[in-house]
C-alpha cells in the first residue's frame, strides 16, 4: 500500500486533521515526511494502528488507556483495562436504570392525581424529591433492579452519571488583563451604572470578558446573597471607571474549564476531575474560582432580553501542571 497523506486519512476515516496531529503528539501514531516537503504521510502499519484506535474509541476507551494497550501489546494487561471499563459501564447502566425506574413510577404517581394543579404544586415544591422515598414500588414493577429504589440510590446514580469525562473538560490559559471590579450583587444605583457602563464598554472592547468571581475554596463555596463574590469585566488598561467600580490587574494563569451547570455541583465535579487527574492539581496560589459568561457581549449591550434564550457559561478552576 502506498503512503497516504494526512488529508487523505482525514477524509477517508472522518477524523479531523487536528485530531490526527494530536494523536501523533501524544504518541499514538507516527507519520513520515518526504525530503521534498513537510507533508505528513502514513504507511500501512500506522493505518492499521489507526483502525485499532478508532475501534477502541468507539468502545469509549480513553486515549490514555489506548496508549497503554498499544505500548504494552500484552493480552493480560489489555483484558485488565477492558474489564475496568466494563465495570464503569455496569455502574452507568445501573444508575440509568435507577433514574428510569424512579421517573416511570413518579409519572404513575402523578397520573393517579385527579387534580392537575396538585401535580404542578408537587413538582414545584422544594421538598418534592422527598416523595421518592415513599413511592410504592412493587417487586415486579421494576425490572433489573434488585434493591428498593430510594433517594440514596438516586443520589448515587446522579453522582455517577454526572462525573465528568476528559472530553467534558478543557485546559485553557486565561491571559493577564485589567478588570473592573464591582460587588456581584448590585444595588439599584450600581445596576444603573452597570447598564450605562456596559454598552459603552463593548464599543471600545468588543472582546470583553465577564466573570463572577469567588475568592474562596470549593469547600467554602456557597451560592447565596452573602457570598464574598465580585463581578469582573475586562477593560482597556488606561480606561477610567465610574464609581463605585474599581480597577485591578488579574494575573491570569492555567485553568480547568467546564461548560456546564452554573452551580456548586458543577464546580465540585470539575474539582473532582482535577483531583483525579495525573497531569494537573488545583492551584493554591490565591487565584479565584471564575464563572465566565460566554455571551457577555450581548448581555452588556442590553440585547439579552426575554425570548433571547439563556446565558452560556464556563466554570473555571485554577490549576497547575504536576511536575513529571
Pair (174, 315) in one structural domain: yes
Pair (271, 314) in one structural domain: yes
What whole-number distance in Å separates Cα of residue 43 and Cα of residue 235? Answer: 51
Q: Averaging pLDDT over each range in 65-74, 105-114, 212-221, 285-294, which range is the top one?
A: 285-294
Say whether pLDDT at 24 is over 90. Answer: no
Tell me, yes or no, if the pTM score tops 0.85.
no
Please give the pLDDT value at position 189.
58
The dihedral of CA 200, 204, 208, 213: what is its sign?
Answer: negative
Domain total in the chain: 3
Q: Are strands 289-293 and 246-250 parallel, antiparallel or unpaired?
A: unpaired
Q: Is 106 exposed, middle or buried (0-12, 13-18, 19+ CB in 10 A)?
A: middle
Pair (12, 42) in one structural domain: yes
What whole-number distance in Å separates Cα of residue 299 and Cα of residue 310? Answer: 10
Lowest-confidence pick of 56-70, 141-155, 249-263: 141-155
Backbone angles phi, psi at 183, to 5 degrees: -65, 140
pLDDT, mean of residues 297-322? 73
Pair (262, 215) in one structural domain: yes
State pLDDT tens for residues 30-85.
888 766 666 778 888 888 888 888 888 888 788 888 888 888 878 888 899 899 88
Q: Write out the residue range of the structural domain in which residue 129 sits.
A: 76-161
State pLDDT tens for residues 175-210.
999 999 887 654 555 566 667 777 888 888 888 998
Domain termination residue (choose one: 98, 127, 161)? 161
- CA distances (Å), 65 to each of 24, 33, 74, 91, 193, in order? 15, 28, 13, 19, 53
Pair (173, 308) in one structural domain: yes
- Mention every residue, 6+ apart, whose C-beta is less than 8 A from residue 52: 66, 70
Pair (221, 270) in one structural domain: yes
Domain termination residue (choose one: 39, 72, 105)? 72
Pair (96, 140) in one structural domain: yes
Domain termination residue (choose one: 131, 161, 191)? 161
Pair (136, 191) in one structural domain: no
State pLDDT tens for residues 80-115.
989 988 888 887 787 778 777 777 777 776 676 545
Amino acid at each position: 500500500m502506498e503512503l497516504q497523506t494526512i488529508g487523505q486519512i482525514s477524509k477517508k476515516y472522518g477524523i479531523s486533521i487536528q485530531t490526527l496531529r494530536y494523536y501523533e503528539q501524544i504518541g499514538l501514531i507516527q507519520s513520515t515526511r518526504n525530503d521534498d516537503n513537510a507533508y505528513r504521510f502514513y504507511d500501512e502499519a500506522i493505518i492499521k494502528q489507526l483502525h485499532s484506535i478508532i475501534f477502541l474509541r468507539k468502545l469509549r476507551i480513553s486515549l490514555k488507556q489506548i496508549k497503554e494497550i498499544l505500548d504494552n501489546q500484552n493480552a493480560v494487561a489489555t483484558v485488565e483495562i477492558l474489564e475496568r471499563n466494563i465495570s464503569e459501564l455496569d455502574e452507568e447502566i445501573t444508575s440509568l436504570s435507577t433514574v428510569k425506574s424512579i421517573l416511570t413510577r413518579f409519572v404513575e404517581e402523578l397520573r393517579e392525581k385527579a387534580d392537575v394543579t396538585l401535580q404542578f404544586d408537587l413538582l414545584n415544591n422544594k421538598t418534592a424529591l422527598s416523595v421518592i422515598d415513599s413511592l410504592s414500588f412493587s417487586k415486579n414493577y421494576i425490572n433489573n433492579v434488585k434493591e428498593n429504589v430510594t433517594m440514596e440510590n438516586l443520589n448515587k446514580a446522579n453522582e455517577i452519571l454526572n462525573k465528568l469525562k476528559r472530553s467534558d473538560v478543557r485546559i485553557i490559559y486565561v491571559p493577564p488583563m485589567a478588570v473592573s471590579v464591582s460587588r456581584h450583587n448590585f444595588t439599584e444605583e450600581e445596576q444603573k451604572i452597570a447598564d450605562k457602563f456596559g454598552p459603552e464598554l463593548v464599543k471600545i472592547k468588543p472582546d470583553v470578558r465577564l466573570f463572577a468571581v469567588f475568592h474562596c475554596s470549593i469547600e467554602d463555596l456557597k451560592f447565596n446573597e452573602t457570598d464574598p463574590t465580585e463581578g469582573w469585566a475586562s477593560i482597556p488598561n488606561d480606561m477610567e471607571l465610574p464609581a463605585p467600580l474599581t480597577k485591578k490587574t488579574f494575573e491570569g494563569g492555567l485553568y480547568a474549564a467546564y461548560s456546564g451547570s452554573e452551580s456548586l455541583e458543577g464546580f465540585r465535579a470539575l474539582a473532582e476531575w482535577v483531583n483525579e487527574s495525573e497531569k494537573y492539581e488545583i492551584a493554591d496560589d490565591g487565584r479565584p474560582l471564575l464563572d465566565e459568561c460566554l455571551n457577555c457581549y450581548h448581555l452588556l449591550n442590553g440585547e439579552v432580553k426575554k425570548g433571547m434564550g439563556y446565558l452560556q457559561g464556563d466554570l473555571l478552576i485554577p490549576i497547575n501542571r504536576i511536575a513529571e
